[in-house]
């Protein structure tokens, strides 16, 4: 369901009510916000340069001439912007009046065509098709991307997506999610299903009720999670595990890693995460080895990373094992700060953390912000995300190598840490499994109530490298192999806690640092470790968020 | 309409002349949590905002960002976020508990809240 369809029109009344309330406050008390990386809403369009009115709509701003498609001929996207089949009224989240005016689905599709031609990273690989032949903007958007494949056979562009703008604009306290405080991994979504705990957040119902890494969910509210055959039962299970309403209680029969079973009742709530956990060091003959689990590039991570790195620095570590196996990215500023803290000021001085590369149409300027495409430096100071105040110097380790623990859920900003450090000749050793392969980014862009995610730029390191669309793979990886780094292919190990020296990936990392060799026994041979499944996430499992309820979680 | 009423009353109550000191919430009950949620949601231009059950209780700082989303493959959207969170901090001035937004310096008196200096 790459872009899919959704009932956004049914939300129009609610959106209007929200907008009215927001407008009243802003008008009464002033101010305005910032902090968004979403591209600004388009300016109210000038009259179309080509005929309009096709698609069956009429009204202010539309002429009676049909929109014409001529292969290879593109009008500016602004020509079609905000001409909507169902225009929004009122104000957006930043207090700006929606620019929408009466248009048609054909206007919306022509905007997508022109927008993609202007900003899509691989604009010259889009096959130009007549938008009138597609039923909806979402259907048309699906083909406004490259159809090329990578040498491994995977699609070149796996990141084409759209969601309703009012959903995209929803805000949360940083790091807060609804649930019980457990992060689940699905090792098998079909019968016999297998859902295990990857880790828990301190102080949450999951933690206080004894759920630990590797705990399996056997029953929910009396329904057999492993074998329940009916769609209705699976729907109940999905909601209870992955999307419980705050305040709702559910009873779980759990299988603990030691083979025992327990029954607990947990009440869901909104709980903060602790993105940095298990900060510790291991005393080894060549030198102390630091370790930390880093699960999310969210705002609270800034202070937690500062505290962790300062503590490890004070322990005099000579190596660091950075556990990124469940880190899917987030704020790039956090990644830049952590890379700086690992490498230190001497190694990063005058070097680029990353440079954004847009399509060949935009070699010198960011086409969205208008800024010059200057290299982004390693950030050596606080940004004020959670550390206060901004501008304070960060602690630094000054290491010459880094060992990362990775898996299929290691993505985006996490991969940027690896690539940026490799760009300044820091040795990166990888233990685990292939990362997701997302060296790309976008400015999510609204038009007519939908926010469109089309790939706009690629991140390039100081050495000019950013081509890892199949991810980074440790040596010894089989199947789909990304850019190979020194290290060991080791399956995820749910039999031990994260940060425990017996956990397979950490154990392999510690051994590799000492001997330069991988463990001789396959790490997935032991009981309790990741069961192999089908597909490219073999042995890794999937880590859904609550929003996956509308996509896929457990299946009948 | 209750939401809009709370927002307007809270947002437009003037700030005290008493010195402001960083504070945290104490004994947050349902009413104070509802008020806090309404104020922050209005500040963000949203109908609702998801807050932790213990928001502002530990350190009096509230960081707000776009609710994380994942795509059809489970990848975070966007995995490379070039933006920044919005930051709010609680202060106490006299007997008032005041929420102040960093950057804009917009402020709201939380009528239902009880707070203590840090």
Give chain A positions within 8 Å (CB) of B43. Answer: 25, 33
Distances (CA, A) of A292 to A1, A24, A279, A359: 35, 46, 4, 37
* Mean pLDDT, rounded, for A89-114: 93
Residue range A70-82, pLDDT digits in tens: 999 999 999 999 9
pLDDT for residue A47 is more than 80: no
Please name the member of B41, B50, B79 whose beta carbon is closest to the beta carbon of A176: B50
- Which range scores top for mean pLDDT: A25-29, A415-419, A547-551? A415-419
pLDDT at position B27 is 79
Nearest-CA distance A189 → chain B (Å):
14
Candidates A12, A35, A466: best to mutate against B (most CBs of B within 10 A) is A35
Residues 6+ apart with CB under 8 A from A13: none
pLDDT at position A247 is 94
Please name the member of B7, B64, B80 whose beta carbon is closest to the beta carbon of A25: B7
Nearest-CA distance A4 → chain B (Å):
10
The total number of residues written for chain A in this structure? 556
Angle between helices A332-343 and A301-314 (to 10 degrees): 10
Residues 6+ apart with CB under 8 A from A552: A189
pLDDT at position B69 is 85
Contact A271 B52 (CB under 8 A): yes
Please name the member of B46, B63, B103 whose beta carbon is closest to the beta carbon of A174: B63
Contact A91 B77 (CB under 8 A): no
pLDDT for residue A454 is more than 80: yes
Task: Quickly list H helices, A315-423.
Answer: 332-343, 345-348, 413-423
Contact A21 B4 (CB under 8 A): yes
Residues 6+ apart with CB under 8 A from A180: A204, A205, A206, A209, A211, A244, A266, A267, A268, A269, A271
Nearest-CA distance A50 → chain B (Å):
34
Sort strands A269-272 and A216-220 into parallel, antiparallel or unpaired: unpaired
Contact B81 A18 (CB under 8 A): no
- Of A65 and A266, more confident: A266
pLDDT for residue B58 is more than 90: no
Residues 6+ apart with CB under 8 A from B56: B24, B25, B28, B36, B62, B90, B115
Nearest-CA distance B94 → chain A (Å):
22
Average confidence score pLDDT of chain A: 85
Residue range A136-179, pLDDT digits in tens: 999 999 999 999 999 889 999 989 999 999 999 999 999 998 89
Please name the member of A159, A174, A543 whose beta carbon is closest to the beta carbon of B65: A174
Nearest-CA distance A529 → chain B (Å):
22
Spell out the domain ranges in chain A: 8-148, 176-270+546-550, 276-359+377-441+458-515
ipTM: 0.87
Residue A28 has, within 13 A of its CA and on its CB side, a CA count of: 20
Contact A331 B44 (CB under 8 A): no
pLDDT for residue A210 is more than 90: yes
Give chain A positions within 8 Å (CB) of B4. Answer: 20-21, 24
Please name the member of B67, B69, B106 whose beta carbon is closest to the beta carbon of A171: B67
pLDDT at position B4 is 42
End-to-end CA distance of chain A: 18
Residue range B62-87, pLDDT digits in tens: 999 998 888 766 778 878 899 999 99
- Of B13 and A421, more confident: A421
Nearest-CA distance B12 → chain A (Å):
6
* Mean pLDDT, rounded, for A28-44: 35
pLDDT at position A27 is 24
Contact A543 B54 (CB under 8 A): no
pLDDT for residue A189 is more than 50: yes
Give chain A positions within 8 Å (CB) of B59. Answer: none
A181 phi-psi bin (left φ>0, alpha ψ -120 to 50, beta other): left
Contact A37 B78 (CB under 8 A): yes
- Find, in chain B, the residue whose alpha carbon is nearest to that of A20: B4
Contact predicate B38/B69, CB 8 Å? no
Per cent of chain A over pLDDT 70 is: 82
Give dist(CA A109, CA A81) in Å, integer.
Answer: 10
Residue range A460-494, pLDDT digits in tens: 999 999 999 999 999 999 998 999 999 999 999 99
| Angle at CA of residue A466, ends A463 and A467, nearest 5° | 125
Contact B85 A333 (CB under 8 A): no
Exposure string for A447-468, b = 16+ CB within 10 A, e = fewer: bbbbbbbbbbbbbbbbeeebeb
* Mean pLDDT, rounded, for B15-29: 82
DSSP codes of every residue in A403-428: EEEE-TT--THHHHHHHHHHHTT-EE
pLDDT band, residue A545 (cuts 50/70/90):
low
* Mean pLDDT, rounded, for B40-68: 91
Contact A299 B65 (CB under 8 A): yes
- Of A354 and A285, more confident: A354
pLDDT for residue A30 is more than 50: no
Residue range A364-398, pLDDT digits in tens: 999 999 999 999 999 999 999 987 789 999 999 99
pLDDT for residue B39 is more than 50: yes
CATH superfamily to which A276-359+377-441+458-515 belongs: 2-enoyl-CoA Hydratase; Chain A, domain 1 (3.90.226.10)
Contact B75 A159 (CB under 8 A): yes
Q: What is the CATH number of domain A176-270+546-550?
A: 2.30.42.10
pLDDT at position A67 is 87
Coil, strand, or helix at residue A523?
coil
Contact predicate A499/A506, CB 8 Å? yes
Give chain B positions within 8 Å (CB) of A5. Answer: none
Give chain A positions within 8 Å (CB) of B45. Answer: 18, 22, 26, 33, 91-95, 169
Residue range A295-345, pLDDT digits in tens: 999 999 999 999 999 999 999 999 999 999 999 999 999 999 999 999 999
* Residue carrying structure tokens 């969601």: A163
């Amino acid at each position: 369901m790459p872009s899919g369809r959704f009932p956004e029109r049914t939300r129009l009344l609610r959106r209007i009510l929200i907008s009215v309330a927001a407008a009243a406050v802003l008008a009464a008390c002033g101010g305005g916000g910032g902090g968004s990386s979403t591209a600004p809403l388009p300016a109210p369009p000038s009259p179309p340069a080509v005929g309009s009115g096709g698609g069956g709509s009429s009204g202010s701003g539309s002429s009676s001439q049909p929109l014409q498609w001529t292969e290879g001929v593109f009008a500016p996207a602004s020509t079609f912007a905000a001409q909507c089949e169902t225009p929004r009224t009122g104000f957006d989240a930043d207090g700006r009046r929606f620019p929408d005016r009466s248009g048609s689905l054909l206007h919306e599709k022509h905007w997508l065509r022109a927008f993609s031609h202007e900003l899509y990273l691989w604009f010259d690989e889009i096959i130009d098709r007549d938008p009138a032949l597609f039923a909806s903007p979402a259907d048309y958007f699906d083909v406004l991307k490259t159809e090329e494949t990578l040498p491994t056979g995977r699609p070149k562009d796996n990141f084409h997506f759209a969601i309703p703008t009012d959903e995209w604009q929803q805000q949360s306290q940083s790091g807060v999610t609804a649930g019980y405080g457990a992060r689940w991994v699905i090792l098998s979504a079909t019968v016999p299903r297998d859902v295990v705990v990857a880790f828990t957040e301190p102080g949450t119902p999951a933690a206080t009720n004894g759920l630990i890494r590797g705990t399996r969910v056997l029953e929910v509210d009396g329904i057999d999670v492993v074998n329940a055959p009916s769609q209705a039962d699976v729907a109940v299970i999905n909601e209870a595990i992955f999307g419980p309403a705050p305040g709702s209680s559910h009873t779980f029969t759990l299988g603990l890693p030691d083979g025992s079973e327990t029954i607990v009742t947990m009440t869901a709530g909104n709980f903060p995460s602790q993105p940095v956990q298990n900060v510790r060091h291991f005393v080894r003959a060549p030198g102390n080895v630091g370790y930390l689990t880093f699960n999310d590039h969210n705002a609270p991570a800034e202070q937690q990373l500062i505290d962790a790195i300062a503590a490890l620095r004070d322990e005099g570590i000579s190596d660091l094992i950075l556990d990124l196996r469940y880190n899917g990215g987030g704020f790039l500023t956090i990644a830049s700060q952590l890379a700086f803290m690992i490498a230190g000021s001497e190694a990063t001085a005058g070097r680029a953390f990353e440079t954004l590369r847009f399509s060949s149409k935009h070699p010198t300027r960011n086409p969205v912000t208008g800024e010059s495409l200057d290299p982004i430096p390693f950030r050596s100071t606080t940004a004020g995300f959670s550390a206060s105040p901004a501008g304070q110097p960060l602690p630094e380790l000054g290491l010459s190598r880094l060992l990362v623990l990775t898996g299929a859920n290691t993505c985006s900003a996490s991969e940027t840490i690896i690539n940026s450090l490799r760009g300044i000749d820091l040795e990166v050793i990888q233990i685990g499994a292939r990362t997701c392969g997302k060296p790309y980014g976008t400015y999510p862009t609204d038009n007519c109530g939908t926010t469109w995610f089309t790939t706009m730029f690629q991140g390039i390191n100081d050495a000019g490298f950013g081509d890892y669309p199949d991810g980074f793979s440790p040596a010894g990886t089989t199947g789909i192999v990304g850019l190979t780094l020194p290290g060991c292919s080791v399956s995820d190990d749910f039999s031990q806690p994260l940060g425990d020296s017996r956990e397979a990936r950490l154990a392999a990392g510690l051994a590799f640092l000492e001997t330069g060799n991988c463990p001789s026994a396959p790490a997935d041979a032991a009981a309790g470790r990741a069961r192999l499944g089908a597909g490219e996430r073999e042995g890794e499992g999937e880590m859904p968020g609550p929003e996956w309820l509308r996509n896929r979680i457990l299946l009948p | 309409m209750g939401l809009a009423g709370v927002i307007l009353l809270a947002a437009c109550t003037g700030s005290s002349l008493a010195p402001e000191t960083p504070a945290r919430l104490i004994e947050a009950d349902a009413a104070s949590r509802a008020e806090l949620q309404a104020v922050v949601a209005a500040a963000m231009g949203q109908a609702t905002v998801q807050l932790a059950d213990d928001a502002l209780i530990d350190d009096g700082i509230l960081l707000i960002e776009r609710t994380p989303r994942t795509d059809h493959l489970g990848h975070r959207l966007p995995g490379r976020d070039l933006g920044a969170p919005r930051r709010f901090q609680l202060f106490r001035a006299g007997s008032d508990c005041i929420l102040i937004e960093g950057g804009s310096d917009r402020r709201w008196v939380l009528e239902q809240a009880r707070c203590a200096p840090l």
